[in-house]
Amino acid sequence: MLQLSRLMLAAGLGIALNLSMAATAGAASEVTGAGSTFIYPVLYKWATDYNQKTQIKVNYQYIGSGAGIALIKEGAVDFGATDRPMSSADLQTFGLQQFPSVIGGIVPVINVASVKPGTLKFTGPVLADIYLGKISKWNDPALAALNPGVKLPDANISVVYRSDDSGTTFNWVSYLAKVSPQWKNQLGTGTSVHWPVGMGSKGSEGVATYVKQVPNSIGYVEYAYVKQQKLNYGLLQNAAGTFVTPSTESFQAAAATADWKNAKDFDLSMLDAPGENAYPITAATFIVMYKQPKDADRQKTVQDFFRWTLESGQEHARSLDFAPIPDDLKNQIEAYWANPPKAQ
């Protein structure tokens, strides 16, 4: 049944990377994970390099955080990846543990011919009003006031959002709920919401493709996709009032405010972090694996891989515009593996 459900889910979502679901796959030579699109660019690089060094295959389905969590709860994969951390209660219920693996940012991307990349300024409330449908024209007075001297077209804004169950969406709408009371009261948060306006697309690649193809559109994707696909992006005002450029440095500035030591199961938010240079939509992808797996050899392979990513793979993260995991957090993660928290 597990084999069948794996294949059905992969087929239904239609996205897979080097997928091998054979039940006879060697425990020490091949493992499978699924989930977040946020982490995909760097996880692909990690998996490729690790395979070259060790001959071990790490297969990964980048199908969205919600689907990845569903698969590991079912026991259908060796690890999941989610941009929305699981609660300690859910981890305990399903016999799971989680830890942050990479830190990055979620960026508003646009397709406006008259605007140069990295110049259009947004505030959180203005973004919320665009996604609420209250601001529907690019030359709306609220946008014009933020961008004096910028030629904004008298054109309708085409809103693009993630249609799948997405951790990227969770962080995006959680930020909007922090800065917009109307968003908080009307739509709230979650890995999906009832979008008032716009068109949906699956995965970050789908959103990026829509925005590139649809004139006068706006969407949201991880910064690595901005760089890879050469998307036009906007600047976002942070809690200190600074319009911040997304970058490894601004993600690190937000991550530096996180109190990981006092966060049970690393469950915390870096959204709208304080600090002059902190990027306001900074988030981590969390790897989820079993506390007591049925196959200890496969668990060891997963753990060895992610230990390698922490100790030897962080420069890959930096090169792909993610923020590396700080050294003290690496030590906390390894201690957590050895002794994950027990139920209270």
- For 176-204, write each residue's pLDDT tens digit: 999 999 999 999 999 999 999 999 999 99
What is the third-level CATH fold of 2-103+284-338? D-Maltodextrin-Binding Protein; domain 2 (3.40.190)
Question: Which pLDDT value is given to residue 2?
Answer: 37
Q: What is the largest CA-CA distance in the chain?
A: 63
More confident residue, 267 or 17: 267
pLDDT score at 341: 64
Query: What's the half-sphere exposure (Cβ side, CA atoms, 13 Å) at 208?
Result: 20
CATH for 105-258 is 3.40.190.10
3-class state of residue 128 by DSSP: helix
165 contacts 64 by C-beta, under 8 angstroms: yes
Average pLDDT over residues 94-122: 96
**pLDDT average, residue stretch 93-97:** 96
Who's near 104: CB < 8 A, 6+ residues apart? Answer: 38, 222, 223, 224, 251, 282, 283, 284, 285, 321, 322, 323
Q: Among residues 221, 223, 226, 192, which one has the least CA distance to residue 204?
A: 221
Domain ranges in the chain are 2-103+284-338, 105-258
- Closest by CA position to 81, among listed 20, 50, 40, 25: 40
Residue by residue, DSSP assigns 285-303 as EEEEEESS-S-HHHHHHHH
Average pLDDT, whole number, for the chain? 90
pLDDT number for residue 228:
87
pTM listed for this prediction: 0.88
Contact 283, 270 (CB under 8 A): yes
* 105-258 has the same fold as 2-103+284-338: yes
Tens-digit pLDDT profile for residues 239-277: 999 999 999 999 999 999 999 999 999 999 999 999 999
Name the nearest CA neighbour of 306 among 27, 41, 50, 17: 50
Quote the pLDDT of residue 342.
62
Q: DSSP string covering 220-267, please?
A: EEEHHHHHHHT-EE-EEE-TTS-EEPPSHHHHHHHHTT--GGGSGGG-
Tens of pLDDT, residue by residue over 153-170, are 999 999 999 999 999 999
